[in-house]
Amino acid sequence: MSQHHPATIPSPREPASLPGAPLDGGRHRAPAGRSRAERHRLGLMVVAELVLTASALLLLYLGWYLVVDDHAVAADQHAAATRMLREWDALPASGPRAPESPSAPSDVEVGDRFAVIRVPRFGDDWLRPVIEGTSTAQLDEGVGHYAGTALPGQVGNFSVAGHRLTHGSAFTRIAELEVGDVVGVRTATTWFVYRVTSSEIVAPGDVQVIAPVPDAPGAAPTEPVMTLTSCHPLYGSSERYVVHASLLASAPASDGVPDELRAEVA
């Protein structure tokens, strides 16, 4: 038979437990685990931070690509054009030189740098090399010449293309060209000066703009003209911005830069 003991009442001076002491024999209880909702929110916060970090890095890269790298490439293209002019000017007056106006576009090969283009509207010292061909490889080096179109000074349509953005942005300001503006093209022996006559915006497939007579496929050309093309709008490529010009004058390179190209742009 079990013995019965009276309940023990703790002394007022000896409390059942010290303030803050554990009530379970000295062991601290572990905090309750995070709820599923809390874990979900934490995961979303981590993902959001990663996305923001990646976005910031992407913006930094794009800024570098569109500004710093673009300026560096533009400087390289300007330097290449300047070297071409210097090398041509160093050729002896009576020695073998490039023909003033090659007889056919086949006289230059894809990848050849055969001319320098100068557009006062784009800047007082703006120069770019003109390369045969309009693939990415050529456009990344300067202004590309549409193979099969006329060469500088020839009867027909001397047609060129340039990047609107990136890789030097040769034609980033093409939409600023106005009727009456001039465009200079220098070969080894000759300066050709074209005057802008019109501009238009067309679909990428509207190749009639570079026909021998612009926008008149099949028509026989009777005069030297020039066409410049680039992507449009500025930050897109759904269309093409096109500028047409007609030959205004030509002069021997030995006479220096034509006055028309020295005039101040309004």
Catalytically active residues are 163, 231
Phi, psi for 250 (deg, rounded to 5): -140, 150
Using CA atoms of 87, 90, 96, 100 in order, give the dihedral in degrees to the nearest 10.
Answer: 70
The closest of 130, 129, 160 to 146, measured between CA atoms, is 160
- HSE (side-chain half, CA atoms, 13 Å) at 246: 9
Question: Is 250 within 8 Å of 234 (Cβ atoms)?
Answer: no
Contact 229, 235 (CB under 8 A): no
220 vs 94: CA distance, rounded Å: 36
Residues contacting residue 151 through CB under 8 Å, at least 6 positions apart: 101, 102, 104, 105, 107, 108, 114, 145, 158
- How far apart are alpha carbons 113 and 18 in whole angstroms? 93
